Chains A and B, each alone.
Chain A
Amino acid sequence: MRGVRKAFGATIALDGVDFPVRSGEVCALVGQNGAGKSTLMAILAGALKPDAGVMRVEGAPYAPRHPLDARKAGVAMIYQELSLAPHLTVMENIVLGVEPARSGVIQRDRMRETAAAALTELGHPDMSPDAMVGDLSPAGQQLVEIARALASGCRVLVLDEPTSSLSHGDVRTLFDLIGRLKRQGHAIVYISHFIEEVKEVSDRFVVLRDGRNAGEGITAQTRAEDIVGLMVGRALEDLYPRSDRTAGDAILEVEELMPGSATFTLRRGEVLGIAGLLGAGRTRLLRTIFGLEPVKSGRIKIAAYSGPATPQARWRQGMGMLSEDRAGEGLARTLSIADNMTMTRLESLGPAFAVLPARQDAAAARWIDGLAIRCSGPRQAVAQLSGGNQQKVAFARLLHHDVDVLVLDEPTRGIDVSSKAQIYRLIDELVSSEPRDGLKAVPYRYRDADHETTAPRNGLKTVPYRDGDAGSDTTPPEKTSVGDGLQPVPTRARAVLLVSSYFPELLGVCDRIAVMSRGRLGPARPASEWTEHALLMEASGARAAS
């Protein structure tokens, strides 16, 4: 494979990008969201047509007009969202589209052989070709997807964020697999946001920024900071800011909660992290606390309120949750930014039960400015935004609602570095006892949208949200809610409960960290007492085993 090269003329997305990959090497393609990685890969896969530029595969001109052309030319993509048929078996998926058949009748024996051969090549001869793909773990499904690419005779394999749904151990296995494919002479393009992964798995890297080549090099000879620097176009500032935090009143108390066997107390002005591997039950714990899944036993107390948990009660009590599954749960992607941001708190965007779009837009516009969300306006559909901007929209929902407890499940999964940095800064702002200038202007009272003259609120120190809107001077409180248990407190520092699989992030952001392993949450200890190694030992159960 010599030189897959492309240059594009006047397009905004890609402005003359070169991208060579040689056989037998892993080349990482890195860049922030919107840098043009997806566009470049879509062109490579034949889903988009370049305006200008040349592509070659093994010296031969390569101009796919259709994804099938790409596959015939030996270029296969493994996307973030896997494209398997869950109700078919492993072997049926592997040969999907290229089923061996004689005059229209499938030859199951040959199908089995092909599948078994591909799985053996991947070093997994143990996987049953007859298993249902829907029953497999995400890692197993990914394996099937790669096997399918091999079975169709691919030589260039593009992996787009392949580890985003994998646990630690599975990532290891995947890296071994990539090494194996490399030695077999395949060319591999590895797209990732995780610089650590890039460092570990790739031989060379190419950085894209704003649709141009921003730099490239030999991975082993480059420091991670320098790669990140190339991505953001400047030296990376302190990724994890930490302003003065003072732990205040307990605002969330969880006692012997099942599922999760969790006991902890979360105070205002602190970030409590929950570390753990995928499948450890962290998400389930958060969902149970938020009322999305039933409580089996135990007690959850939010400020003075304890009672049955439902999401609507939680929002009223001043708790908001950010889902780990942005596309599936976090956002209504066909709806506008304004609808998504204001959904939890449509009350008071109009008289009585009315919702005035103008007020919705004004509310959303404030957050779009405050969080620097790149979009055409509050009415743009969320689906059209990049991942990082989508996540900011989801985050802004919690800010618009003005919650006291933020439950964040993998808030930085799959988003670009600068959006990540912004979310870290935001978290710090929220728990800080003295809001700095940077984002102080962000939280606001939506009423300001209509009454510009309302006395300016002092940043984060707003009145706790009550049902019926305590800050209103025009509408009388509609009703006193069940969740009206919040006591006004001297400071308005928020509390954050943060789940992440990315340990450096937890260590950087949290004040205390507890580890979840096999469905059980351990005791919380100050973040300074943890190291990445210790977290991993605890999370993988290695410590208990020794």
Chain B
Amino acid sequence: MKARRFLDESGVLVGLVVVALIFGALIGPQFFRAANLELMARQTVIVAVAALGMTMIIVSGGIDLSVGSIVSLSTVVVALLLKTHGPALAAFGAVAAGAACGAVNGLLITQLRVVPFIVTLGTMLLVRGAAKGLADERRIEAPITWLNDLLRTARDGRGWLLPTGIWITVALAIVVALMLRYTRLGRHLFAIGSNERTARLCGVRIDYTKFAVYTLGGALAGLAGVMEFSKLSVGDPTVAVGLELDVIAAVIIGGGSLLGGKGSVLGTLAGAAIMVVIQVGCSQQGLPNWVQQIVTGTIIIGAVALDRWRQKSA
């Protein structure tokens, strides 16, 4: 009984281990070397940070398609601010810009009563346009600061054991997981996602909660943008096109439901990791990009089908 429950809640972790073992068997033990694991962790970070916000949004029954655009806007904002200010302020400004975009999403969704899919489809274009306008449709060069080290490997002597960016991600993941499980806001998100009318009947402040969750989601996307900047070391308004789909896929593989009321941080992180393991594994195995895409697509559909089948047989 206990084992079964564990399997239900962490089936995606089992999936992650299985996928990793398959590639380990194909490629050999060097796949599990510390450097390679760190590489995969570093590659997971950007999607993972944005997916933390997306997990909260999807739990509440919503969706945010503007994540990729917010990431690109954020890289531009960081680069622009770095020219005149310090790196801390630049990073903060980028997160704030992301939060502002999320707040706009939240306001439009709650005040205009338009469904999140449509609103964020619109803001996806709006924000992308704003990023391009702000950058004058060019890449923005920026001075080198410690921001560029966030995702650099710890073997260069940066960060403690692991790159700082990974620590930030882990810390945020813990905060979001605790928030979802152990706070009023978290329980309210589940209630809204499970049945919005019930939440309203129970006196949950729906508009406030939705506004909060989209703002938080935007802020996390902004932070993902800072990470992206760290990787690119330039502000690029054309980067991260389609990233939102990876982010959504991570949440879905991790057990989130687009109908709302379901989802977990641990699952989402594992979901993001599965996609990276496939990506890294395929490239190290020398498999072309198209194989990798086919495998990832299969995993997304398979994960959801497996989840449904398990619920039905339970």
Contact = CB atoms under 8 A, between A and B. Distances in A.
Interface in A272-298: 290, 292
A96 B66 CA distance: 39
Interface string B178-193: 0001111111001100
B194 A321 contact: no
A347 B195 contact: no
Contacts of A335: 190-191, 194-195, 261
A391 to B, nearest CB: 14
Nearest to A314: B203
B201 A321 contact: yes
A204 B145 CA distance: 86
A386 B237 CA distance: 54
Interface in B245-278: 261-262
B155 interface: no
A311 B194 contact: no
B148 to A, nearest CB: 37
A511 interface: no
B199 A353 contact: no
A350 interface: yes
B203 A329 contact: no
Interface range for B:
20 to 34
A330 B200 CA distance: 10
B313 to A, nearest CB: 14
A316 B204 CA distance: 12
A344 B195 CA distance: 14
B202 A397 contact: yes
Nearest to B208: A312
Contact of B184 (A313, A333, A347): A347
A355 interface: yes
A339 interface: yes
A331 B187 contact: no
B204 A343 contact: yes
Contacts of B197: 323, 325, 328-329
A458 interface: no
Nearest to B261: A334
B202 A343 contact: yes
B202 A311 contact: yes
B138 interface: no
B198 A331 contact: yes
A534 interface: no
A339 B190 contact: yes
A331 B203 CA distance: 13
A47 to B, nearest CB: 13
A95 B201 CA distance: 39
B202 A355 contact: no
Contacts of B185: 353
Given A312-B205, A332-B261, A334-B194, A350 B182 contact: yes
A461 B181 CA distance: 33
Interface string B197-225: 11111111100000000000000000000
Contacts of A339: 187, 190-191
A315 B199 CA distance: 12
A382 to B, nearest CB: 9
Contacts of B190: 332, 335, 339
Nearest to B185: A353
B195 A329 contact: yes
A290 B201 CA distance: 9
Interface in B285-302: none
B194 A292 contact: no
B203 A315 contact: yes
Given A350-B182, A355-B182, A329 B201 contact: yes
A332 B203 contact: no
A346 interface: yes
A343 B261 contact: no
Interface string B143-187: 000000000000000000000000000000000000001111111
Contacts of A347: 184
B195 A332 contact: yes
Contacts of B198: 323, 329-332, 340, 343
A332 B186 contact: no
A313 B205 CA distance: 10
A347 B190 CA distance: 16
A330 B185 CA distance: 20
B202 A353 contact: no
A354 B200 CA distance: 21
Output the residue of A292, A339, A355, A397 with the most chain B CB within 10 A: A355
A314 B203 CA distance: 8
Interface in A18-62: none
A348 to B, nearest CB: 11
A148 B201 CA distance: 36
A357 interface: yes
Contacts of A397: 202
Contacts of B183: 353-355
A433 B199 CA distance: 33
Contact of A334 (B187, B200, B203, B262): B262
Contacts of A314: 203
A482 interface: no
A323 B194 contact: no
Nearest to A329: B197
Interface string A222-242: 000000000000000000000
B194 A332 contact: yes
A136 interface: no
Contacts of A98: none
A354 B186 CA distance: 9
B300 to A, nearest CB: 22
Interface string A498-529: 00000000000000000000000000000000
A397 B199 CA distance: 12
Contacts of A333: 194-195
A218 interface: no
A372 interface: no
Contacts of A220: none
Nearest to B192: A332
Nearest to B257: A334
A292 B201 contact: yes
Output the residue of B181, B186, B195, B202 with the most chain A CB within 10 A: B202
Contacts of A323: 197-198, 201
A356 interface: yes
Contact of B187 (A310, A311, A325, A355): A355
Output the residue of B182, B199, B205 with the most chain A CB within 10 A: B182
Given A314-B203, A332-B198, A355 B191 contact: no
Nearest to A326: B198
Nearest to B203: A312
B15 to A, nearest CB: 22
Nearest to A343: B202
B195 A311 contact: no
Given A329-B198, A331-B195, A335-B191, 13 more contacts: A312-B204, A321-B201, A323-B198, A325-B197, A330-B201, A334-B194, A334-B262, A335-B190, A335-B194, A343-B199, A343-B202, A355-B184, A356-B182
Interface of A: 290, 292, 310-316, 321, 323, 325, 328-335, 339-340, 343-344, 346-347, 350, 353-357, 397
6 contacts: A321-B201, A332-B261, A334-B262, A335-B190, A339-B187, A354-B182
Q: Which 8 A-B pairs have the closest CB atoms?
A: A312-B203, A332-B194, A329-B197, A332-B195, A343-B202, A315-B203, A311-B203, A332-B198
